[in-house]
């Protein structure tokens, strides 16, 4: 089958959906609603009707979050059902990222109970426990008595190797960050492999999108987690996702990193993404000075805003291009994720009784 026959139906369907998404009036009315209950009610008659029904039945915002996740998973599966095998397999890898994030949430509960000795009984009800991509026993993860039990609960899944490379002592000493980074790295490795299995324009589009996506994520990783500390090549390698321009340039210049890693990184970022180098240059080494921390956070927010706009422009450009590629599918998932993020943020703001101005500020409106 050719590209036209592969994509004509699903892309027309998704373009029609995209045309009615991101309704600014809906978001505005939710922000202006005087209470959380009234904000949720604004979802009646929209594609988020189910969220309103869940909230009316439970009065529980976390159940609404769970329903939104369930809807997101169903959305991926619906689209996969309309795609040819190669594209469907690629989207399945994208859905694995949702699965990994869910696994992280379950492991955080285990960590909270077994390392921090906190009660998790009420929180475990909010973990999505049905099949996403692979058969994962979430109850076994949450209720594991030892780290060996936790690792064993992943036996037969693609994540077993990652879990077996850690121990209870290593997590107790370093926290969950190294394990979560390892899970992310595994997914990006799978993603790179999946991109390589696409053909023609599909592969070109996916490579263009995700190489930039990884660059942006790596920049945020460097600034948020590593920039404010003295980096050496070993610690840098454990954080950077080994994909995209930034990672390849860091690897190519590895010898030069030993003297002044951040000077080299600034040079790499300035060449590829000059619009944000000024913000990066303003970030200073972390200290106990709260003013420094707050200033760094503001610079990082500006970087995030630029990177978000860069992503948005890339996906909008794809929508004006060849209509018979996987690009429309990827743009649709991006727009869905953006809209769902806004819905979550507004409802969260209403839950914490933030002012309209504060909610708009957090949304960049």
Give the tens place of pLDDT for each residue, 62-82: 999 999 999 999 999 999 999
Give the tens place of pLDDT for each residue, 291-347: 666 777 777 778 888 888 888 888 888 888 888 899 999 999 999 999 999 999 999
* pLDDT of 147 over the 70 cut: yes
d(Cα 347, Cα 365) in Å, to the nearest integer?
A: 16
Ramachandran quadrant class, 230 (left: phi over 0; alpha: psi -120 to 50; beta: rest): beta
Give 204's pLDDT tier (boundaries 50, 70, 90): very high
pLDDT at 58: 96
Gyration radius of the chain's alpha carbons = 22
Query: Could you give the 3-state DSSP secondary structure of residue 277?
Result: helix
pLDDT at 179: 96
Give the tens place of pLDDT for each residue, 159-201: 999 999 999 999 999 999 999 999 999 999 999 999 999 989 9
d(Cα 113, Cα 170) in Å, to the nearest integer?
A: 16
Give 122's pLDDT tier (boundaries 50, 70, 90): confident
pLDDT at 335: 93
Q: Give the other-Cβ count within 10 Å of 199's Cβ.
A: 11
pLDDT at 112: 96
Can you give the pTM of this predicted structure?
A: 0.90
pLDDT at 288: 55
Instruction: Give the DSSP H/E element, type plus range, for residue 44.
Output: none
Give 257's pLDDT tier (boundaries 50, 70, 90): confident
d(Cα 357, Cα 354) in Å, to the nearest integer?
A: 8
Once rounded to an integer, what is the mean pLDDT over residues 145-153?
97
d(Cα 271, Cα 285) in Å, to the nearest integer?
A: 23
* pLDDT of 229 over the 90 cut: no
Give the tens place of pLDDT for each residue, 104-119: 999 999 999 999 999 8
d(Cα 42, Cα 16) in Å, to the nearest integer?
A: 22
CB 67 within 8 A of CB 183: no
CB 261 within 8 A of CB 232: yes
**Alpha-carbon distances of 290 from 159, 174, 284, 298, rounded to whole Å:** 39, 24, 12, 12
């Amino acid at each position: 089958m050719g590209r036209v026959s592969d994509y004509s139906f699903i892309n027309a369907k998704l373009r029609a959906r995209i045309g009615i998404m991101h309704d600014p009036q809906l978001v505005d009315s939710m922000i202006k609603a005087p209470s959380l209950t009234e904000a949720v009610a604004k979802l009646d008659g929209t594609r988020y009707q189910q969220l309103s029904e869940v909230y009316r039945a439970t009065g529980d915002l976390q159940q609404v979050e769970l329903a939104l996740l369930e809807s997101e998973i169903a959305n991926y599966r619906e689209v996969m059902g309309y795609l040819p095998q190669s594209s469907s397999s690629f989207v399945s890898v994208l859905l694995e990222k949702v699965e990994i994030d869910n696994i992280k949430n379950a492991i955080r509960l285990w960590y909270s109970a077994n390392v921090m000795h906190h009660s998790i009984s009420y929180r475990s009800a909010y973990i999505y426990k049905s099949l996403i991509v692979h058969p994962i026993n979430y109850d076994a993860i949450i209720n594991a008595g030892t780290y060996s039990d936790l690792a064993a609960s992943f036996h037969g899944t693609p994540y077993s190797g990652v879990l077996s490379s850690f121990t209870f002592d290593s997590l107790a000493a370093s926290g969950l960050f190294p394990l979560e980074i390892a899970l992310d790295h595994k997914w990006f490795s799978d993603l790179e492999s999946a991109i390589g299995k696409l053909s023609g324009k599909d592969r070109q589009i996916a490579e263009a999108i995700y190489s930039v996506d990884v660059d942006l994520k790596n920049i945020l990783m460097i600034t948020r987690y590593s920039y404010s500390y003295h980096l050496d090549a070993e610690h840098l390698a454990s954080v950077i996702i080994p994909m995209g321009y930034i990672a390849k340039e860091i690897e190519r210049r590895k010898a030069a990193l030993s003297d002044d890693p951040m000077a080299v990184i600034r040079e790499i970022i300035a060449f590829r993404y000059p619009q944000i180098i000024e913000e990066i240059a303003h970030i200073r080494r972390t200290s106990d000075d709260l003013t420094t921390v707050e200033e760094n956070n503001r610079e990082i927010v500006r970087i995030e805003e630029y990177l978000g706009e860069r992503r948005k422009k890339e996906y909008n450009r794809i929508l004006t291009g060849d209509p018979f590629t996987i690009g429309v599918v990827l743009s649709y998932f991006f727009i869905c994720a953006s809209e769902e993020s806004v819905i979550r943020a507004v409802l969260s703001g209403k839950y914490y009784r933030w002012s309209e101005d504060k909610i708009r500020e957090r949304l960049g409106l």
